[in-house]
Amino acid sequence: MSATAREVTDDDFDDVVRRAGRPVLVDFWAPWCGPCRVMGPILDAMAEAHEGTLDIVKVNLDESPETARRFGVSSIPALLLFSGGELVTTLVGAKPRTLIEKAIADHL
């Protein structure tokens, strides 16, 4: 079975993301957001390509608003990269895979 981006919530964000043993790319999204839906397949493909070296997770802004507030997410899609539990990179808006790969490369 191929890897896909996993859903996380306000309740398990710290356990899954901040305490991870490898970098984690977090996709803040909402089902009503068209550009967010465009990003889904890109992030699923990246999750498969980077399996074992990078975790990719999704936070539904409507279901987990506290996590979005904590990190100042006010526009979606927003991609936040955490490494060693710390926020190291932020990308806002729909981005091509090549740009995302370039932005995270130094942290893998």
Helices (H), 1-108: 13, 34-49, 65-70, 97-104
Q: Is residue 103 classed as helix, strand or coil in its secondary structure?
A: helix
If one counts every other C-beta atom within 10 angstroms of the C-beta of residue 35, the result is 13
Annotated catalytic residue, options 33, 88, 94, 103: 33
Tokens of 18: 């901040």
Residue range 42-98, pLDDT digits in tens: 999 999 999 999 999 999 999 999 999 999 999 999 999 999 999 999 999 999 999
* Residue ranges per structural domain of the chain: 6-107
What would the mean pLDDT of 8-33 be, rounded to a whole number? 94
N-term to C-term CA, the chain: 23
Question: Domain 6-107 adopts which CATH fold?
Answer: Glutaredoxin (3.40.30)
What's the predicted TM-score (pTM) here?
Answer: 0.93
Alpha-carbon distance 26 to 5, whole Å?
9
Annotated catalytic residue, options 26, 36, 46, 54: 36
| Residue 36: active-site member | yes
What's the Rg (C-alpha) of the chain? 12
